[in-house]
Structure 1
Amino acid sequence: MELREAAARLLSNATDAGPNVFSRRALPLSQDALPAIYLSAPSDTARSTGRTAPDFVRVTQLNVDAMVSGGTPEATQDALDALTEQIELLIMQDVGFQARLSQVSDLSTLQEVTSDNSSYIGKVRLSFSLEYFEEFSPGGQRIAALDLQMQTMGNPDFAETREEFPAQNIQ
């Protein structure tokens, strides 16, 4: 998933998670490795733009799961709020990332602070619906030249021409 990897590169070393940004790793991490960010793209939907060309409007759901640890519930919540804001601003304000999209059609955030074994863990999931266009090139033989023959009412061989396309113009 190109968008997931682009988001991972964007978030690496640009948030409080530092280098602990993972797009190909399963949970869990130990508490001493927090804060950390996990990226996944669990769903992708393609909707056709019409019956003629194989063009689609695609929506990829990008989930950004982040975890922090703090000594108190307040410190954990503060760290979680800061990391949540960093993630949202980086994704939404990066010109290079946004240039890949037509829009972010939805953004939702779900936070939780829990206490297991007397340590506080904060978790947040930011879910971005990333919309973009995708076009598939039709298969078949490429056109290298065009032959034209024009006729008039009294002259079947009025004019002829052949137009050859340079190789760099052929797609």
Structure 2
Amino acid sequence: MSDVYTSDYSTEFTGSDDTDHDEPTSSQNPQPTDMEQVVVRYLLSQGYKGPQILVILEERHGIKMSIQTLNRKRKLWGLQQRDLPRGPPPAIQASIRSSHSKGLNLKEIQARLYKETELDVSIRTIQRYLQQLNLRQQTNDLQDGKVSWDKVIECINHARTELLQTSAGYRSMHRILKRFYSISIPR
């Protein structure tokens, strides 16, 4: 066998013996502009406007820029307020979902929302939030004045005697009132 010399090897593989993993890649350490984009996207999704975003960027992240620079970068990144998912902020969502699950009406939801978040919103805004969250208010014919207590009691007695529903519990009676008498009373 003949001896192999280094000059016998092809020159294709010349260069550093270091692997590519020694240097940090862009996925390991995000560029400052990538971090800016992520932060601005998050702030826009939370409903913050330009001047508020600038204050938060400077105070929390140490990033200082002018409003024109922010607008230019938003255009460059394709971030616009209308493209972001709509809906109330998480604190408001939590309050509205909690109030809705307890069966509160719009005025009660409004009062509870003000108490929990100190945000005074109109009834129409609450209705819009409910619609965005795919929540529906249960109708309450008794509270709306469509029927009286006497009429509800009369219908319950009629169902027990005439429809032979003597052992019907609350849920069954609720369903009977809705189906046979068109009376809607939430639990």
TM bucket normalised to smaller: under 0.3
Q: Which has the larger radius of gyration?
A: 2
TM-score norm. by structure 1 comes to 0.19
The one of the two structures with greater contact order (alpha-carbon pairs below 8 A, sep at least 6) is: 1
More strand by share: 1
TM-score norm. by structure 2 comes to 0.18
